[in-house]
Structures are given as structure tokens and as C-alpha cells.
Amino acid sequence: MGSKGNKNKKKGDVMAKYQDLADAIIRGDNVASKDLAQKLVAEGVSAIDILNDGLMPGMNVVGKKFKANEMYIPEVLIAARAMHAAMDIIKPLLAETGEAGKGSVVIGTVQGDLHDIGKNLVGMMLEGGGYNVVDLGVDVSVEKYVEAMKTNDTKILGLSALLTTTMPGMKEVIDALKADPATADVKVMVGGAPLTQEYADSIGAAGYAPDASSAVDLADSLAG
């Protein structure tokens, strides 16, 4: 029994080690998140542990609060800024060790659409969820998406659209990817205010995310 108690205590201590960092992310304190990440690195904690046990749990809480309308876009952006401050500390260390968390996801807004707030939120949540995000930006051509999926080590692409007039561009990208043997197995997830699950199904998307937090869950399921 004593051994089990010590094991539980040790587990509790490990959780506590990262709690301050997670809390800094949740409240959007970028100064504290950077300092705490530096402190953990100085203590010899691995970058991947800081990501998995500090940053990701913090952003998970942010995502849940966002879904529940307990946090709004400005607060999520502030939390994401705090996450980026800590990520700036551990990213070089992740690169050195070859540890990249869950892998990469390519994202972009389809051609003809210049809206990026939703896309940016998705990118931030994905980074907080342990992914390396390759953001192609807005008004991205079909050809650029196909090329990006050939040159980046990932099979997951996230497409965003806010205008009903640009939504057909998603199908053009999906059709082009399927037509090329090198990208035929790419899994495309889509999102944006005018989209629905039915529309995603109709264009052959692998999944639909109604909000930024759901995009992380969807990427996890597609990666699995």
C-alpha cells in the first residue's frame, strides 16, 4: 500500500510541476508562460514533456471554455499568444531532438477568400494541441495546396472558407488532390461559418470542424 501511495504522490508532483504553466496559458499571461517554460528547461525537463504536460493541457482548457462560450475569440487569442511565448522557448529544443509532437498539419484559406481569423484560431489550437502547423495563408490556389502536400511530411490538410462563393474551391482542391497519385491519400478537413457536415460530405472531405477546438479533435482522429 505504501508503494502505491508513493506512486500516486509522485504522479501528483509531476502534474503540479506543469500546473503553473498551464494556468499561465489559460489566463493569457505570456510573460509568465515564457518564464515558466525557461525555468522547466533549466531544471532539465524535456521540451516534449513541457509541450505534452503543460502547454497542451492549458490549451485544452481554453478549447473547452471556447466551446462552452465561457471564453471568446479575443481571450483565445491572448491565450494563444501566451502559448506561443512558451513555444518559442521549446521549439528549438524540439527541433534538436527530432521530437515534433503529433506531426504536421497544413492549413489555408481557399482561393478568392481573404478571411483568416478562423484559420488563425485553428492554427493556434492545433499548435497548442501538439501539432506543427504549416500555414499557407489566404487566397491559396489549388496548385499551391497540391504542392504543399507533396513537400510537407503530412497527410492532413485543413481548408477554410468564410464566403459561400468560395466554398466550391474546397471541392476543387479535394478533386485535384485525389487526381494526383502522390496526394490521393491526403485527408482534408474543412471549416468555416457557412459550412455544414452535409456540405463537407458532399465534396468528399474527410471531416468537418464547426469550431477551432473541434479541429484539434478532428485532426487527432484523422492522424490516428
pLDDT tens readout for residues 27-83: 999 999 999 999 999 999 998 899 889 998 998 899 889 888 999 888 988 998 999
Half-sphere exposure of 145 (CA within 13 A, CB side): 32
Q: What are phi and psi of 44, to 5 degrees?
A: 90, 10
- pTM for this predicted structure: 0.74
pLDDT tens readout for residues 200-220: 999 999 999 998 888 989 999
How much is the average pLDDT of 129-147?
A: 94
In sequence order, the β-bridge partners of residue 208 are 190
Non-local (6+) Cβ contacts of 36 within 8 A are 20, 21, 24, 54, 86
Q: What are phi and psi of 187, to 5 degrees?
A: -100, 120
Measure the CA–CA gap between 81 and 159, rounded to whole angstroms: 23
Percent of the chain topping pLDDT 70: 91
50 SS3 class: helix
pLDDT reported for residue 224: 77
In sequence order, the β-bridge partners of residue 140 are 110
pLDDT reported for residue 102: 85
Nearest CA among 222, 212, 195, 219 for reference residue 119: 212
pLDDT reported for residue 97: 66
Cα 162 off chain centre by: 19
Indicate the average pLDDT of the chain.
89
Q: For strands 156-160 and 131-135, give the pairing.
A: unpaired
pLDDT reported for residue 125: 85
CATH architecture entry for 102-224:
3-Layer(aba) Sandwich (3.40)
pLDDT reported for residue 14: 44
pLDDT reported for residue 56: 86
pLDDT reported for residue 109: 97
Q: Are 111 and 161 in contact (CB under 8 A)?
A: no
Count of C-beta atoms within a 10 Å radius of residue 201: 11
Measure the CA–CA gap between 3 and 6, rounded to whole angstroms: 5
pLDDT reported for residue 7: 38
Residue type, 15: M
Q: Are 189 and 122 in contact (CB under 8 A)?
A: no
Percent of the chain topping pLDDT 90: 62
Nearest CA among 137, 171, 131 for reference residue 155: 131
Return the higher-pLDDT residue of 1 and 15. 15
Per-domain residue ranges for the chain? Answer: 1-99, 102-224
Domain 1-99 matching CATH 2.60.40.3080: the answer reads no
User: Among 6-15, 47-56, 102-111, 182-191, which is the least confidently predicted range?
Assistant: 6-15
Measure the CA–CA gap between 49 and 97, rounded to whole angstroms: 12
- 5 — pLDDT class (breaks 50, 70, 90): very low
Q: Are 122 and 212 in contact (CB under 8 A)?
A: yes
